[in-house]
Amino acid sequence: MKSCLAAHLAVAAGFSPNPLSDVGAILSWQFMRSAYEAGTVVAIVSGVVGYFVVLRQTAFAAHALSDMGFPGAAGAALIGVNPVVGMLVFTLAVGAVMGALGERVRGRDTVIGIVLAFALALGYLFSSLYSGNSTEAFALLFGQITGVTSWDVVVTVAASVVALGAIAIMYRPLLFASVDEVVAEARRVPVRLLSVGFMLALALAVSAAVQVIGVLLIFALLVTPAAIAERLTRRPGAAIACGSALAVAFVWLGLAISYYQPYPPSFFIVGLGFATYVAVRVVPGRRTRSGRGLIGRWDALMRSTSPLH
């Protein structure tokens, strides 16, 4: 795919004055259309699931799932199965175990770290057995969205729809259990079941996001947009909508920039998110009690546009 991009670069060396013709040029390529399709769906599901990742403080679990999916994807390729399917099987299995263990996973950083290191090494071994070099591993670790096939798009959309549906069904009790597990349990909310359910939805989101951003950069879609959103609004529904919109914007812009620059899209997607996060961190009065100023206006905007509140 890199050669494909390079060949194209010789033709179009930069943005044209007319943005519409840029969009037309970018989308005239099948691989870019697939990249945009998969990237958009992944961004939406990442924004939704990311809100709960930040709320439940399970960013580490998201990374662990991602790392554990790596040998799954590489192993699947080795035995001739679609890597996305291998990734899904591994992350779902690991997610179910982590969800069932629940609280007992916390504070076991040493053990988890040792297991994750082995998982990464195993994935590396499988990919070098498969291709004889490290290109395959590199694509899985750092993402290769322009290498997404139309079959990958179908699998990604299916996984994302299931994850979004699961979050929609679990929405209120999951919110309750994430904020106050003790009272939720006393009120007969099935907190353990929700823990497993959320980890499975997270596993689906991680598997989808890995294709866009790679195993190692997973936070850029699953944490960064949600972390920015929680600084822009106080409402759960608005934060979810805002996080998804930001993730979509990063993916779209990152892909567009990488079309004209000989650098990987992953870098631009991560970089845009990072720059935005830094920007909202330094906006003064971000934690004002009255919510006046920029953040207050944002909040008012999100209030009027959010579908949930």
- Which chain residues interact with other proteins by CB under 8 A? 51, 54-55, 57, 103, 106, 168-173, 175-176, 178-180, 182-189, 229-231, 233-239, 287, 289, 291, 308-309
- 88/163 with CB nearer other proteins: 163
Q: How far is the CB of 197 from other proteins (least distance, A)?
A: 11
Rounded Cα distance between 147 and 166, Å, is 28
CA dihedral 216, 222, 223, 224 (to 10 degrees): 90
- 69/236 with CB nearer other proteins: 236
Count CB-CB contacts under 10 A for residue 236: 20
Rounded Cα distance between 70 and 86, Å, is 9
Given the structure tokens 């920007």, which residue do they identify?
279
Q: How far is the CB of 59 from other proteins (least distance, A)?
A: 12
- 49/140 with CB nearer other proteins: 49
Q: How far is the CB of 32 from other proteins (least distance, A)?
A: 34
Q: How far is the CB of 236 from other proteins (least distance, A)?
A: 6
Q: How far is the CB of 288 from other proteins (least distance, A)?
A: 9
**291 conformational bin, left if phi > 0, alpha if psi -120 to 50, beta if neither:** left
- 20/103 with CB nearer other proteins: 103
- 54/89 with CB nearer other proteins: 54
105 DSSP 8-state letter = G
Measured at the alpha carbon of residue 227, what is the angle toward residues 222 and 229, in degrees to the nearest 5? 105
Q: How far is the CB of 194 from other proteins (least distance, A)?
A: 10
Residues in the chain, how many? 309
Q: How far is the CB of 309 from other proteins (least distance, A)?
A: 8
- 79/188 with CB nearer other proteins: 188
Rounded to a whole number of angstroms, the distance between the first and last alpha carbons of the chain is 43
Rounded Cα distance between 112 and 51, Å, is 23
- 42/189 with CB nearer other proteins: 189
Which H or E run includes 131?
A: helix 109-131
The answer to whether the beta carbons of residues 58 and 40 sit under 8 Å apart is: no
Burial class (CB in 10 A: 0-12, 13-18, 19+), 158: middle
Rounded Cα distance between 230 and 219, Å, is 15
